[in-house]
Amino acid sequence: MNFISRKLKTLLLILFLISGVIVASGWVYYRELNRAEDPRIIEARKIMVKYNNLMSENETDLALLVLDQVEDIYRNTSGYADSYEIGVVLNNRGSVFLIKVETDIINQKEPHIDNFTQAKQYLKSSIDVYTNWLEKIESMEREDVYNMILPFFSENDPAFDNLDLEKIIEKRIDDIVASKIETGRRLSVSYTNLGIVYRYEGNLENAMEQYEKALALWPDNHVAKNNLNQLLGFPLEKRNIIKQMFFEEKT
């Protein structure tokens, strides 16, 4: 019995040590990742967390104000004024106005025409930003991206004092390279949202066109697929259980 207890204690100690190593490794990894983040836009990333919290509480007006802050940071930071991040902000802003429309419909109110107008304006703007971004970077290799962004990361900028500038540049390159794939999905989401706006307006032909564009970019866009099925009178599709568990949409 004492032998079993000793073995059990040893096993628990080993598991505890392994867990400690994993936690410590994770802490070091995310610490280094944060250190590699461009300090000029870290505040925008933090504010986006606040935006997500406000949206979960349906505080749409406050969420719009928060998005204004995020956009201001990106537009006034060298190297980000025409980046895909601006498209994310514009799509999110259009989505807020779309939610306002949906909230009125759920509450059996006549949706305000301004909300339709604003939603379409911002979603179309996000589509323009994403499309221009993809055209700009789609043929770029890693070295091309490096040469493109290097002028925006001056070692004389006090924002980079006491930081590893090369790591920050490498992290930005990683983000841009990844955006080749992710921006296609983001663009698909913008088309889907625009299609939903058109559907609420009763413009079914335009709605269908947006859903088809969305699926051409991202065949696994479940929302676009079922919205299109609904317009065509087809049954709605259920997502594969594996995709429900593990697939993460990048927006």
- Nearby residues of 63 by Cβ (< 8 Å), 6 or more positions away: 51, 54, 55, 96
Q: What is the pLDDT of residue 34?
A: 55
Q: What is the pLDDT of residue 234?
A: 83
Highest mean pLDDT among 28-37, 88-97, 237-246: 88-97
Q: What is the pLDDT of residue 224?
A: 94
**Residue 98 to residues 22, 34, 95, Cα–Cα distance (Å):** 42, 33, 5
Binned at pLDDT 50, 70 and 90, residue 250 comes out as: very low
Residue reference for tokens 């087809």: 234
Q: What is the pLDDT of residue 36?
A: 85
Q: What is the pLDDT of residue 35?
A: 61
Q: What is the pLDDT of residue 124?
A: 98
Estimate the share of the chain in helix, then strand, then coil, as percent rounded to the nearest 5.
80, 0, 20
Higher pLDDT, 237 or 167: 167
Does residue 61 surpass a pLDDT of 50?
A: yes
Mean pLDDT for the chain overall: 85
Span 18-25, mean pLDDT? 41
Q: What residues does each domain of the chain span?
A: 37-246
User: Could you say which architecture CATH assigns to the domain 37-246?
Assistant: Alpha Horseshoe (1.25)
Q: What is the pLDDT of residue 83?
A: 96
Q: Tell me: the pLDDT tens digits for 64-74?
A: 999 999 999 99
